[in-house]
Structure 1
Amino acid sequence: MNSSNNDSCSNSTSTNNSIGGRDLGLYFLDQARLCSAAAPSAMDEAEAEEAPTELNTINSSGGFLVVSTDKLSVKYTSVNLHGHDVGAVQANRPAPFKRLLYYFEMYVKDAGVKGQVSIGFTSESFKMRRQPGWEANSCGYHGDDGLLYRGGAKGEPFGPTYATGDVVGGGINYASQEFFFTKNGAVVGTVYKDMKGPLFPTVAVHSQNEEVHVNFGQKPFDFDLKTFEAQERLKQQATIEKISLPPNVSYEIVRSYLLHYGYEDTLNSLYMAGKSTVPPVSMNQENGFDEQDLLYALSQRKTLRQLIRNGEIDAAFSRLHEWYPQIVQDDKSATCFLLHCQKFIELVRVGKLEEAVKYGRIELSKYFSLARFEELVQDCVALLAYERPMESFAGYLLEDSQREVVADMVNAMILSTNPNVKDLQGCLHSYLERLLRQLTACCLERRSLNGDQGEGFHLHRALNSTMKANS
Structure 2
Amino acid sequence: MNSSPPPANSANGDTTNNVVNGQDLNLNFLDKIRLSATRDAKEDEGEDLPTELNTINSAGGFLVVSPDKLSVKYTNTNLHGHDVGVVQANKPAPIKCLTYYFEIFVKDSGIKGQIAIGFTKESFKMRRQPGWEVNSCGYHGDDGFLYRGQGKGEPFGPKYTKDDTVGGGINYVSQEFFFTKNGAIVGKIPKDIRGHLFPTVAVHSQNEEVSVNFGKKRFAFDIKGYEATERNKQQMAIEKISTPPNIGYGLVKTYLLHYGYEETLNAFNLATQTTVPPIHIDQENAIDEDDSSYALKQRKNFRQLVRNGEIDTALAELRNLYPQIVQDDKSVVCFLLHCQKFIELVRVGKLEEGVKYGRLELAKFVGLTGFQDIVEDCFALLAYEKPEESSVRYFLEDSQRELVADAVNAAILSTNPNKKDVQRSCHLQSHLEKLLRQLTVCCLERRSLSGDQGETFRLHHFLNNNR
* Fold shared by both chains (TM-score > 0.5): yes
SS in 2 for 1:456: coil
2:2–2:293 contact (8 Å) kept in structure 1: no
The residue that corresponds to 2:30 in the other structure is 29
Residues 89, 128 of structure 1: 8 Å contact kept: yes
- CA 221–19 in structure 1, closer or farther in 2 if over 3 Å, else same: farther
List alignment gaps of at least 5 residues for structure 1: none
Displacement after TM superposition at 1:10 (Å): 5.5
Offset of residue 336 of structure 1: 1.4
SS of 2:149 mapped into structure 1 = coil
**Could you tell which deviates more after superposition, 120-129 or 247-256?**
120-129
1:211–1:23 CA distance, 2 compared to 1 (3 A): closer
Per the TM alignment, residue 350 of structure 1 is displaced from its structure 2 partner at its CA by 3.0
- Aligned residue identity for 2:239: E
> Which residue in 2 is equivalent to 1:65?
63
Q: Partner letter of residue 330 of structure 1?
A: D
Q: 1:228 aligns with which of 203, 226, 234?
A: 226
Answer yes or no: is the 8 Å Cα contact 2:109–2:207 preserved in 1.
yes
After TM superposition, list the pairs within 5 Å mapping 1:446-465 onto structure 2. 446-465=446-465
Q: 1:105 to 1:19 in 2, by over 3 A?
A: farther
**Match status 1:143 vs 2:141:** yes
- Give the Cα separation in 1 of the matches to 2:34 and 2:93: 35
Distance 2:55 2:389 in 1: 47
The 5 Å alignment of 1:70-469 reads 70-283=68-281, 285-287=283-285, 289-368=287-366, 370-422=368-420, 423-467=423-467
1:19–1:424 Cα contact (<8 Å) kept: no
The one-letter amino acid paired with 1:444 is: L
Contact 1:252 1:283 in 2 (8 A): no
Equivalent residue for 1:15? 16
The 2-side partners of 1:53 and 1:88 are apart by 17
Q: CA deviation at 1:169?
A: 1.0
Residue 398 of structure 1, CA deviation: 1.9
Question: Once structures 1 and 2 are overlaid, which stretch shifts more, 21-30 or 240-249?
Answer: 21-30
CA pair 368-56 structure 1, distance change in 2 beyond 3 A: closer
Please report how far the alpha carbon of residue 41 of structure 1 lies from its aligned counterpart in structure 2 after TM superposition: 5.8
1:280 is displaced (CA, Å) by: 2.1
Distance 1:228 1:116 in 2: 28
The alpha-carbon deviation at position 354 of structure 1 amounts to: 4.4
Partner Cα distance (2:2, 2:191) in 1: 62
Letter in 2 for 1:100: L
Cα distance in 1 for residues equivalent to 2:20 and 2:199? 51
1:107-156 C-alpha deviation (Å, 9 max, x unpaired): 11101122221111123343333322233322111112222222334433
Q: CA RMSD in A?
A: 2.5
User: Which shows bigger deviation, 431-440 or 286-295?
Assistant: 286-295
1:5-41 superposed Cα distances (whole Å, 9 cap, x missing partner): 6343465776124687744433223323433335146
Please report the TM-score for the alignment, with normalisation by the length of structure 1.
Answer: 0.90
- Contact 1:64 1:78 survives alignment (8 Å): yes
Measured against aligned partners, the alpha-carbon deviations of 1:257-315 in whole angstroms (never above 9, x if no partner) come to: 11110111111111111111101225572336322111111111111111111112222
CA-to-aligned-CA distance 1:340-383 (integer Å, 9 cap, x gap): 22223223333344443443343333333535433333333443
Identity of aligned residues (%): 67
> Secondary structure at 1:15's aligned position in 2?
helix
For the residues of structure 2 that align with 1:198 and 1:355, how far apart are their CA atoms? 54
Answer yes or no: is the 8 Å Cα contact 1:17–1:413 preserved in 2. Answer: no
- For residues 303-336 of structure 1, the C-alpha deviation after alignment (integer angstroms, 9 at most, x for no partner) is 1111111112222122212221111111121211
Indicate the larger mover: 258-267 or 312-321.
Answer: 312-321
Question: Does the 8 Å contact 2:107/2:209 carry over to 1?
Answer: yes
Taking structure 2 as the reference length, what is the TM-score of the superposition?
0.91
Q: 1:89 to 1:342 in 2, by over 3 A?
A: closer
Match of 2:5 in 1: 6
- CA change 1:181–1:383 in 2 (3 A) is same
Classify 1:108/1:446 alpha carbon distance in 2 versus 1 (closer, same or farther; 3 Å).
same
CA distance in 1, matches of 2:281, 2:350: 49
Q: What is the deviation of 1:385? A: 4.5
Aligned residue number for residue 39 of structure 1:
40
Assess, with a 3 A threshold, how the Cα gap between structure 1 residues 283 and 56 changes in structure 2: closer, same or farther. same
Structure 2 gap segments, 5+ residues each? none
Distance of aligned partners of 1:411 and 1:55 in 2 relative to their CA distance in 1, 3 Å threshold: same
